[in-house]
Amino acid sequence: MKALKYLLVKEYKQMFRNYLLPIIFVLLPVAMMNVVPRIATQEVKNLNMAVIDCDHSTLSARLVQKMSASEYFNLYSVCNNYEQAYDLLQRGDVDFIVTIENEFEPNLYRTGGAEVMVTVNAVNGMKGGLGNSYLTQIIMQYASELSAENGATTKRPVNVEPRYLFNPEIDYKPYMVPALMAMTLILLVGFLPALNVVGEKERGTIEQINVTPVGRIEFILSKMIPYWSVGIFIVAFSMFLAWKIHGVVPVGSVPLIFLFNIVYIFVISSLGLVVSNYSDNMRQAAIVMYFFIIIFILTSGLISPLSSMPDWAKEATRLNPLRYIITAMREIYLKGSTFSQLITQFGPLCLYGVVASVWAVVSFQKNN
């Protein structure tokens, strides 16, 4: 028992000797119990909507007002034609286009039926499907109010015709598979190099390197380049598996996929090196990496749509490199987006890479 007591005291001292671990012991439960339920929600809200009112009547204006008054939708723009609204949908500014047909009001009074077409951005099948369901309910409720007011005998005076773009089958696999590629990279190209460098630190190899002509930059590159090449292989292999297993192939440019992932690989490997520079042992590095991976996943849009998060959480996601690569991969795979359309994702990813790499080199020289 004395030996056990001695070992327990030793283990607790070792555990709390590192100032990061007690902080994580407190922050992780706070994040899981308080923050996660607020941001990792399957409910879709704040969906942007463009409206094309071809009728310009009193009844069509009432319908627009009722849709925009919902807590689920924001009236982003009233467009003059479908081309203008589609451009907003293609850029990701809106999630839905509601087209109210010409002669909407006369058709309701004359024939007892009118058409409303809903065009859905179905890149996120769950978001598109739920959003269309909410929108249909609002329109049907409006139709019931009109029937009650006018004593109409038809049970469905307004017919909703949905049109799903980019993912017509509302299949979740084409939406998730590109994001899972990015997750695989962060585990293998971000996590493992960090543990590798810490392992060298534990074995005393870094101290030996310091007294040789080998420079620290060369040492860092010797650790990173093999994992960079592995990362490029993982991208190609994952694309092959997505095609063979799920039948998911990119609509857009394959070289563009590799360009984004090369930058992303550089970012996450630099972040892994930063973690290793501030870690004394592999266990500590693993715990810190695990903590940040959870945060990255929850604030990346992998689980919950970014539009459904609170405003403060949306702003926090701008610091997450996983957000940019997941968005870019989904846009290329499902929409066939071009480089010019994805510059808002590429720019922050490159900036993140510059900051992370400089931080990694400076902290390595300071702490090793």
Q: Tell me the pTM.
A: 0.74
In contact, 179 and 329? CB cutoff 8 Å: yes
Q: What pLDDT does residue 217 have?
A: 74
d(CA 15, CA 34): 25
In contact, 336 and 329? CB cutoff 8 Å: no
**DSSP-derived 3-state class of residue 221:** helix
Quickly state the pLDDT bin for 14 (edges 50, 70, 90). low
* More confident of the two residues 342 and 130: 342
Dihedral of CA atoms 357, 358, 360, 366 in degrees, nearest 10, equals 170
Annotated domain spans of the chain: 47-165, 172-367
Q: What pLDDT does residue 153 have?
A: 46
Q: What pLDDT does residue 188 have?
A: 82
Q: What pLDDT does residue 255 have?
A: 95
Q: What pLDDT does residue 367 have?
A: 54
pLDDT winner (highest mean) among 102-116, 185-199, 220-234, 335-349: 335-349
Q: Flag whether pLDDT at 28 surpasses 50.
A: yes
Across the chain, what does the average pLDDT equal? Answer: 80
Section 59-77 average pLDDT: 86
In contact, 72 and 96? CB cutoff 8 Å: no
Of the given ranges (37-51, 166-180, 234-248, 275-289), which has the lowest mean pLDDT? Answer: 37-51
Helix segments in the chain, DSSP class H: 2-17, 20-30, 36-39, 58-68, 82-91, 104-110, 125-150, 173-185, 192-203, 205-210, 216-241, 254-277, 282-298, 311-316, 321-330, 343-367
Quickly state the pLDDT bin for 8 (edges 50, 70, 90). low
Q: Flag whether pLDDT at 111 surpasses 90.
A: no
* More confident of the two residues 89 and 106: 89
Section 306-319 average pLDDT: 79
Q: Flag whether pLDDT at 208 surpasses 60.
A: yes
Does the structural domain 47-165 have CATH classification 3.40.1710.10?
Answer: yes
Q: Flag whether pLDDT at 54 surpasses 80.
A: yes
Q: Which of these, 162, 185, 224, 118, lies nearest to 328 by C-alpha position?
A: 185
